Amino acid sequence: MKQIHSFGQSIWLDFIDRAIISSGNLKKLIDEDGIRGVTSNPAIFEKAITSSSDYDNDIRSLSDSDKTNEEIFFGLAIADIKNATDIFKGVFDESGGTDGFVSLEVSPFLALDTEGTAKQAAELWKAVDRKNVMIKIPGTKPGLEAIKQSIAKGININVTLLFGLPRYEEVTEAYISGLEEHLKAGYSIKHISSVASFFLSRIDVLVDPMLDEKGLGDLKGEIAIASAKKAYEIYKRVFSGPRWEKLAAQGAQPQRLLWASTSSKNPAFKDTKYVEALIGADTVDTVPLETIEAFRDHGIAANTLEDGLDKATEALDRLKKAGIDIDKITQQLEDEGIEKFNKPFEKLLQAIEDQKSKV
């Protein structure tokens, strides 16, 4: 895992719970595997809270107040995030503020609410009160303005749920515009950090069955990687040139691409497939524990991100010619992604309600 970092990519853990923090295992992952950050989401917290008794006492004590179940959840989550950011402070300092981040997501119920998202992002940022926290905002159409507003307030943002290239480019615009606004207001932009989380395996899960029907079976498991490689092309183009250089001169950091949904969903694929294919400079890869263990065991670290760009372009062209509309597919994935986070969040709030009733 540490070898990956030598190619300029940071590995972040896609998991958090109280046990990994209190046992010292999170610190061990930093020391032994070179893990440089943590991402969380509603599904991860739902699993953490419902599958252990670690949170029960806190839920009981918080339920004595007039807090809603959502407020109780954020109370629990913020405590975990603060503890994790403290563990990663050394990484944050050593990297000059480019790594060592821990991400906390706004309520998935706000995914299509610009105002609500921007308001909650500011509240969570203030509540965690750590330089190395990132607030996660979904890259939905309404999320774009919330991302811009949050960056303009100097908040670190992890843009999540990105599947399509046109939307990714809109996200880079929101980031750059936000930096320009913050600078215009007379503030330094050196401390602002952001990543754009591009989801991978779910693209292939949806596209692969269509490929056989169109006689494109050879492209199975390749479309997500091709899209990611094209996203990196956009990244290199956007974060260069006069407009960006003006901000870079003021200390702005580029918004790195982050590869998410990196565990293989198809048992026919190698379990480290998505990690191995997209190792490259100035990127982040967030991986679950089992993928870290798999990579530690049999992963191959090599600078692969810019290999086969022609092949990636050709794969997406063949898709288009066959009448498969990738933009329509990525919009469907975004809609489903919102639902996939809403469901565990509802389950989580119900689990808190159930725990309260045991008091």
DSSP readout, 252-290? PPP-EEEEES-S-SSTTS-TTHHHHHT--TTEEEEE-HH
pTM value? 0.96
CB-based contacts of 249-252 (< 8 A; 24+ apart in sequence):
250/183, 250/188, 250/189, 250/190, 251/188, 251/189, 251/190, 252/179, 252/189, 252/190, 252/192
> Percent of the chain, pLDDT > 90?
93
Give the per-residue pLDDT at 45.
93
Which active-site residues does the annotation give? 136
* pLDDT (tens digit per residue) in 273-285: 999 999 999 999 9
How confident is the model over 21-50, as a mean pLDDT? 95
Give the pLDDT confidence score for residue 63 in this predicted structure: 85
User: Which pLDDT belongs to residue 307?
Assistant: 96
3 state SS of 134: strand
Is the distance from CB of 288 to CB of 296 less than 8 angstroms? no
Query: Residue 64 — very low, low, confident or very high, per pLDDT cuts 50/70/90?
Result: confident
Residues 103 and 133: beta-carbon distance below 8 Å: yes
Mean pLDDT of 171-189: 98
Q: What is the pLDDT of residue 217?
A: 95
Q: 127-177, pLDDT tens digit by residue? A: 999 999 999 999 999 999 999 999 999 999 999 999 999 999 999 999 999
Band the pLDDT of 322: cuts 50, 70, 90: very high
Going by pLDDT thresholds of 50, 70 and 90, the confidence category of residue 356 is confident
Torsions phi, psi of 133, nearest 5? -105, 145
- For residue 250, what is the DSSP state? T
Per-residue pLDDT of 230-262, as tens digits, reads: 999 999 999 999 999 999 999 999 999 999 999
Tokens coding 58: 């806190």
Three-state DSSP at 248 gives: helix
DSSP 20-66: HHHTSHHHHHHHHH---EE---HHHHHHHHHS-STTHHHHHHHTTTT
Question: Residue 359: its pLDDT value, please?
Answer: 57
Q: What pLDDT was estimated at residue 154?
A: 98
- Interval 68-77 mean pLDDT: 95
The model's confidence at residue 358, banded by pLDDT at 50, 70 and 90, is confident
pLDDT band with cut points at 50, 70 and 90 for residue 62: confident
pLDDT of 68: 94
